[in-house]
Amino acid sequence: MNYTRNNYEEHALDYLEGRMTEEQSNRFKHFLVSNPDIYNEVVELKLVYLTPDLSVQFPDKQRLHQTQSNGSPFRMWYAIAAALIILISFVFLLSQPQSTQPTELVEGSSMEEVDPRIEGLQENSPTLLESDLAEVDLGTEQRADDVVKAIKSEPKGEEIINQGSTHRFFAKIDPLIETISVEEAVHQDAERQIDFAKNEVTNEKIETDPSLDRNSFPVLDQLPMTDLTESVLDYELKRGEKLVAISEAEVESDRSTIGKLLASINLIPSGLRDLDKDEIREKVMPEFIASRD
């Protein structure tokens, strides 16, 4: 190998540390003699070597030692942390309230029938705030459950629940209890309103209660809970079911029943309260229109 000014750095240490063959060493010496500046540079390097300060030692070396053949000392802590996370998650899940299952109340109903309508309600209800949606009044939910149970406990109430059109009403009410905002009750006495609904279902004569302002629910009495934007035709095409024409009397009966049920649990979709009654008849109540046609 020829030593040059371009490659001497790679070989200088081998020369100084005696790791060259005799022939290589002689050739490198020849190169150094030919380049005096590099000669001085290389020879002086012999002086500079560092020695470690042995007083510098790792503190508390014992903590690095291991006694187990498997696993790291941190594995146990990882396992404890994982167990705690699982335990906390389990407790959190158990602490969550059980939601009302509408399909248990009404056979043949499904959430798929209800969700599009709820979305429609939300889109067409400018006063329905997200904060309202986020809040679920557990007390109201419980009262609604009580109402349904109370109705089912009555002979005619069970019959109404299993009827066709009312069947749909119940299927549509329950998701509202879970998802749509609940306004502050106009009438705080829930027990009295439950009795009111029960009396209505059983066709018992309702005693006039002056404190119950029925004008507070003008929309609810005519609310069959369908998509605001759907026409009768759209409704039938979308749902794949033919709307059943029912008599005015039945409509009135259904409306009053569902209105009172909603009233009893203080469910008033706020976005619907301001709608014109005629508009509701056209857009909100396809069943009503169908029955008139």
Partner 1 sequence: MNADHYNQCVHEYSDKLYRFAVSLLAHEMDAEDVVQGVFERLWKRHDKVDFRAAKTYLFTSVHRACIDQFRKRKTEREVKDKLMVAEPYMPDRRMEDRQYIEELLKRLNENQKSLVLLRDYEGYSYEEISEITGLTLAQVKINLFRARKKLQIFLSDCVIQN
Which is closer to partner 1, CB of 43 or CB of 133? 43
Q: In this chain, which of 26, 72, 153, 231 binds partner 1, going by CB under 8 A? A: 72
Does 21 sit near partner 1 (CB under 8 A)?
A: no
Applying CB under 8 A, among 33, 45, 82, 83 the residue interacting with partner 1 is 45
**CA–CA separation, 181 vs 141, rounded Å?**
11
For the CB of residue 45, give the shortest distance to partner 1 in the complex, in Å.
5
Which residue from 24, 41, 154, 229 is in contact with partner 1, where contact means CB under 8 A?
41
State the minimum distance, in angstroms, from the CB of residue 30 to partner 1: 19
- C-beta closer to partner 1: residue 44 or 207: 44
6 binds partner 1 (CB under 8 A): no
- The single residue among 2, 21, 22, 58 that binds partner 1, judged by CB under 8 A, is 58
Residue choice 1, 56, 93, 249 for contact with partner 1 (CB under 8 A): 56
CB closer to partner 1 out of 45 and 86: 45
Q: Which of 2, 21, 51, 131 binds partner 1 (CB under 8 A)?
A: 51
**259: nearest Cα among 288, 289, 293:** 288
CB of 86 to partner 1, least distance (A): 23
Nearer to partner 1, 33 or 45 (CB): 45
- Look up residue 34 and give its two tokens: 């030919």
Closest contact distance (angstroms) between CB of 6 and partner 1 is 11
Query: Of 21 and 68, which has the nearer Cβ to partner 1?
Result: 68
Instruction: Tell me the window of 3-11, 137-145, 159-167, 236-244 that interacts with partner 1 (CB under 8 A).
Output: 3-11
Q: By CB under 8 A, is residue 9 in contact with partner 1? A: yes
| N-to-C CA span, the chain | 108
Environment class of 270 (CB within 10 Å of its CB; exposed 0-12, middle 13-18, buried 19+): middle
CB of 269 to partner 1, least distance (A): 57
Give the interface with partner 1 as residue ranges (CB under 8 A): 9-14, 41, 44-45, 47-59, 61, 63-69, 72-74
